[in-house]
């Protein structure tokens, strides 16, 4: 079964690569796509392999020495060239020194395995090619290394390492280091060949003789030398402190504030100004990274799944450390260095010992922080305004349709000033109002997920949403989706593309996420999509559901997880106000909703600006002055 699955996986990956799994002329996007596809395919094999019982030693050796490397070599190869192509920016001289040393060491480590493989030796097979052997990947490593050499030779135009170095331009350095990229290209041409140390060392000695070399200030530094990771915070056991949970971190917000206090038992410790960095999947991929503020007595504790980052005195600033932690380079490094089972993976704090970055001096950090903070401050202000608008709309709904204190003909509260009430199966309701079921006032649709094994269905132009898109919404408007489908994928969804303004309710795992779409979108099977009939508005029903979610959940069923069916949902009993009151309410609430909507779209634009500026400012691509007001 294991070999059969491996052969099927190899064929699937080969088909995905159009019969050319080893191909040198690839864009960075193609490299990423192939690496993603490989990881997706190999996941199932690893699960089977973990529980597979080999019939004998011969089968086990055959699997790890011959069969598995036939597929695994491509995963390792694409990971290697992904790393090579990933970093396209000016780098400091210290980076190249370290790179040379690593190249030398890496070649020494692999050389014995290259000899073992090419000599067709089998003397150490029983030690190397066993499930629990730390060397069972060596054939994969050798095969991937051979492909990498060919790739680098192709990139360098067939030149030898010495020819590459000799032909590289005489770099004239400036404090901006822009032209150092030429040497970077030469290094990519050499890559991991492991035999170029002396040629490049000679070139570096020439560079160091240049006067401008002395002016280089931005150098590669270890993240852990620049940032204090999990700093010591003195807290007294069994004392009450501010506590922050993982769900208190919102990727769309800069700050995390405590909403509760707890007795200290264990967990991460931090102070106001520290950055909390989620280290567990999927929180790390979702970008749960926030700066702490509002702690009682300046100190607190929280989830064990936080890494705590703090600036180092004289080296880095707390505010800059927050933005650095949010940078794509740091986040990507964290994701790539997660370990553990496929379901629960974490990045350790020790992993950051291996992250090296070109980092600016303190005055530049301050200038960068001021630029980015000005955008975040506006985003935070808009969020505060929206929270007030959201509170106002919920309060207004409750007063009018739960407490029945809507304005009468004189503008006074209806019920408390003697408005006529009548009996109903739901208790007293205003005269001229009725009791019905949701089916009387709305129409519903469901959705589906096109096969994720069919690439032609995905990464298209049409929005497609799952309840995950709603899980972190601060306000009940959906303005974007994480995934999109193609026209071919859209045809697999019977409900098609739903119109802007559709109300979405997550119908399972969990029940109760709500949002009105500001985009046309298709949906998966985890939603009930709602559009009200004439005279009723989706905004009205949004707040009706917020007030009556318990009634929805009580009609759900399921053994694995609760789910509310469309049939059961439509039969929920509800009060139906008179049409005049509904129209009056809708007119009032639309004005508030329009302001909320505009602020969200402005925040989206501000966030895009901030995220676009962040890597350019940190890398030095954009210069900053040190006296920004």
Provide the β-strand partners of residue 244: 302
d(CA 202, CA 225): 29
pLDDT in tens, 521-554: 999 999 999 999 988 999 999 999 999 999 999 9
Q: How many CB atoms lie within 10 A of CB 53?
A: 7
Q: Is 567 helix (H, G, I), strand (E, B) or coil?
A: helix
Share of the chain above pLDDT 90, in %: 45
Beta strand pairing call for 268-271 and 299-302: antiparallel
Q: Residue 185: which pLDDT band, with cuts at 50, 70 and 90?
A: very low
CB 480 within 8 A of CB 519: yes
492 Cα distance to chain centroid: 27
> Which of 157, 188, 192 minimizes the C-alpha distance to 86?
188
| pLDDT, position 159 | 52
d(CA 455, CA 15): 12
Domains and CATH numbers, the chain: 2-211 (no CATH), 224-359 (3.90.220.20), 434-576 (3.90.220.20)
What contacts 629, CB < 8 A, 6 or more positions away?
Answer: none
| pLDDT, position 107 | 57
Extract the tokens encoding 499.
């119109």
- Which residue in the block uniquely carries the two structure tokens 């309710």? 505
Question: What number of helices (H) and strands (E) belong to the chain?
Answer: 21, 25
pLDDT in tens, 565-603: 999 999 999 999 999 999 999 988 998 889 999 999 999
Q: Specify the higher pLDDT residue, 200 or 2.
A: 2
H-run or E-run covering 288: none
Sign of the four-CA dihedral 251, 253, 258, 260: negative
Q: Residue 490: which pLDDT band, with cuts at 50, 70 and 90?
A: very high
| pLDDT, position 84 | 63
Is 70 exceeded by the pLDDT of residue 13?
yes
- Where is average pLDDT lowest: 22-36, 152-166, 475-489? 152-166
d(CA 427, CA 207): 86
* DSSP 8-state class, residue 274: P
> Which of 353, 262, 249, 254 minimizes the C-alpha distance to 305?
249
> Which of 317, 169, 312 minimizes the C-alpha distance to 231?
312
| pLDDT, position 105 | 58
What contacts 609, CB < 8 A, 6 or more positions away?
Answer: 375
d(CA 390, CA 293): 23
d(CA 447, CA 425): 34
State the average pLDDT for the chain.
82
Share of the chain above pLDDT 70, in %: 82
What contacts 475, CB < 8 A, 6 or more positions away?
Answer: 386, 387, 390, 596, 600
* DSSP 8-state class, residue 63: I
- Which residue in the block uniquely carries the two structure tokens 């000679």? 202
- What does the pLDDT average to over 463-476? 91
| pLDDT, position 86 | 59
| pLDDT, position 192 | 34
pLDDT in tens, 424-450: 999 999 999 999 999 999 999 999 999
d(CA 306, CA 293): 15
Q: Is 357 helix (H, G, I), strand (E, B) or coil?
A: strand
Is 90 exceeded by the pLDDT of residue 242?
yes
pLDDT in tens, 330-383: 999 999 898 886 567 899 999 998 898 888 888 888 889 988 999 999 999 999
- Which ranges constitute the DSSP H helices of 168-250? 180-190, 197-208, 223-226
| pLDDT, position 54 | 84
pLDDT in tens, 57-113: 888 888 888 888 888 888 888 877 776 665 443 343 444 344 445 545 555 666 677
d(CA 374, CA 160): 50
């Amino acid at each position: 079964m294991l070999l059969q699955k491996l052969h099927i996986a190899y064929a699937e990956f080969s088909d995905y690569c159009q019969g050319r799994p080893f191909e040198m002329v690839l864009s960075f996007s193609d490299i990423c796509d192939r690496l993603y596809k490989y990881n997706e395919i190999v996941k199932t094999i690893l699960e089977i392999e973990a529980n597979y019982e080999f019939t004998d030693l011969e089968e086990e050796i055959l699997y790890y020495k011959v069969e598995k490397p036939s597929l695994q070599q491509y995963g390792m190869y694409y990971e290697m060239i992904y790393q090579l192509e990933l970093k396209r920016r000016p780098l400091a001289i210290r980076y190249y020194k370290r790179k040379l040393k690593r190249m030398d060491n890496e070649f020494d480590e692999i050389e014995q395995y290259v000899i073992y493989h090419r000599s067709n030796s089998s003397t150490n097979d029983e030690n190397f090619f066993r499930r629990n052997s730390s060397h069972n990947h060596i054939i994969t490593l050798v095969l991937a290394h051979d492909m990498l050499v060919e790739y680098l030779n192709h990139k360098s135009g067939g030149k030898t390492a010495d020819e590459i170095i000799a032909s590289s331009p005489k770099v004239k350095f400036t404090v901006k280091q822009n032209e150092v990229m030429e040497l970077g290209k030469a290094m990519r041409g050499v890559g991991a060949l492991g035999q170029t140390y002396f040629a490049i060392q000679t070139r570096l000695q020439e560079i160091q003789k240049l006067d401008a070399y002395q002016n280089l200030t931005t150098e590669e530094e270890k993240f852990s030398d620049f940032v204090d990771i999990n700093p010591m915070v003195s807290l007294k056991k069994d004392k009450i402190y501010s506590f922050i949970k993982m769900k208190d971190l919102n990727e769309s917000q800069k700050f995390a504030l405590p909403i509760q206090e707890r007795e200290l038992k264990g967990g991460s410790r931090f102070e106001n100004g520290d950055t909390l960095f989620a280290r567990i999947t999927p929180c790390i991929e979702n970008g749960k990274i926030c700066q702490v503020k509002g702690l009682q007595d300046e100190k607190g504790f929280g989830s064990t799944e936080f890494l705590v980052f703090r600036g180092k005195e004289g080296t880095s600033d707390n505010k800059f450390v927050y933005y650095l932690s949010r940078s794509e380079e740091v986040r990507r490094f964290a994701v790539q260095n997660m370990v553990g089972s496929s379901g629960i993976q974490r990045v350790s704090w020790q992993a950051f010992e291996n992250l090296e970055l070109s980092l600016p001096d303190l005055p530049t950090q301050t200038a960068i922080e001021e630029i980015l903070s000005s955008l975040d401050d506006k985003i935070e202000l808009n969020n505060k305004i929206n929270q007030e608008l959201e509170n106002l709309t919920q309060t207004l709904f409750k007063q009018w349709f739960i407490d029945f204190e809507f304005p009468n003909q004189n503008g006074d509260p209806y019920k408390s000033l003697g408005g006529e009430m009548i009996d109903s199966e739901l208790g007293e309701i205003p005269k001229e109002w009725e009791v019905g079921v949701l089916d009387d006032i709305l129409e519903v649709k469901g959705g589906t997920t096109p096969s994720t094994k069919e690439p032609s269905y995905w990464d298209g132009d049409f929005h497609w949403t799952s309840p995950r898109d709603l899980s972190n919404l601060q306000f009940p408007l959906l303005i974007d989706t994480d995934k999109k489908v193609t026209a071919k994928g859209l045809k697999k969804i019977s409900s098609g593309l739903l119109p802007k303004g559709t109300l979405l309710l997550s119908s399972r795992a969990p029940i109760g996420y709500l949002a009105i779409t500001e985009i046309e979108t298709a949906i998966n099977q985890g939603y009930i999509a709602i559009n009200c009939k004439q005279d009723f508005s989706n905004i009205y029903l949004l707040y009706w559901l917020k007030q009556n979610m318990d009634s929805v959940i009580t009609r759900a069923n399921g053994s694995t997880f609760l789910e509310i069916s469309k049939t059961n949902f439509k039969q929920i009993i509800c009060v139906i106000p008179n049409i005049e009151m509904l129209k009056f309410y809708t007119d009032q609430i639309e004005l508030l909703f329009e302001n909320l909507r505009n602020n969200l779209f402005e925040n989206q634009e501000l966030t895009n600006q901030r995220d676009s500026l962040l890597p350019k400012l940190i890398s030095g691509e954009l210069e900053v002055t040190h006296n920004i007001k």
